[in-house]
Chains A and B, each alone.
Chain A
Amino acid sequence: MQTALASFACGLLFGLGLLISGMTQPRKVLGFLDVFGTWDPTLAFVMASALLISGLGFSFATRRARPLLAVENLWPTRTDIDAPLVLGSILFGVGWGLVGLCPGPALENLASLSPRVFGFVAAMALGMVLHNVWQGRSVGWSNSGGPVESPLDG
Chain B
Amino acid sequence: MAGFDPWTALIGGALIGVASALLMLLTGRIAGISGILGGCLASGAPDRGWRLAFIGGLVIAPLIGGLFGHPLPLPEMPANWAIIVAGGLLVGFGTRLAGGCTSGHGVCGIARLSSRSFSATVIFMLAAIVVVAITRHVLGA
Which residues in A have some Cβ–Cβ distance to B below 8 Å? Answer: 3-28, 30-31, 33-43, 45-58, 60-62, 64, 66-76, 78-81, 84-99, 101-112, 114, 116-117, 119-132, 135-136, 142, 146-147, 149, 151-154
Contact = CB atoms under 8 A, between A and B. Distances in A.
- Among A26, A96, A105, residue most surrounded by chain B Cβ atoms (within 10 Å): A96
Given A92-B101, A103-B91, A128-B38, A22 B135 contact: no
A123 B109 contact: no
18 contacts: A6-B50, A15-B57, A33-B132, A42-B9, A45-B6, A47-B107, A48-B13, A53-B16, A54-B111, A76-B109, A84-B97, A91-B97, A103-B34, A119-B81, A126-B88, A128-B95, A153-B35, A154-B35
A11 B58 contact: yes
Nearest to B35: A152
Contacts of B37: 103, 107, 124-125, 128
Given A13-B19, A18-B12, A111-B63, A38 B2 contact: yes
Nearest to A12: B57
Contacts of B102: 96, 102-104
Contacts of B90: 91-92, 94-95, 98, 127
Interface in B47-105: 47, 49-51, 53-65, 70, 72-78, 81, 83-105
**Which of B17, B56, B89, B108 has most A Cβ within 10 Å?**
B17
A74 B29 CA distance: 6
Interface of B: 1-6, 8-35, 37-39, 41-47, 49-51, 53-65, 70, 72-78, 81, 83-112, 114-117, 119-121, 123-133, 135-137
A19 B62 contact: yes
A10 B85 contact: no
A80 B13 contact: no
B124 A90 contact: yes
Nearest to B63: A111
B28 A7 contact: no
Nearest to B106: A47
A53 B25 CA distance: 13
B98 to A, nearest CB: 3
Question: Which 9 residue pairs of A and B lie closest in terms of their CB atoms, listed nearest first?
Answer: A154-B104, A154-B32, A57-B21, A127-B92, A21-B12, A15-B61, A11-B57, A93-B127, A53-B17
A90 B91 CA distance: 10
Given A26-B77, A73-B28, A85-B116, 10 more contacts: A7-B27, A11-B61, A52-B14, A60-B25, A76-B109, A88-B94, A90-B94, A99-B87, A152-B32, A154-B103
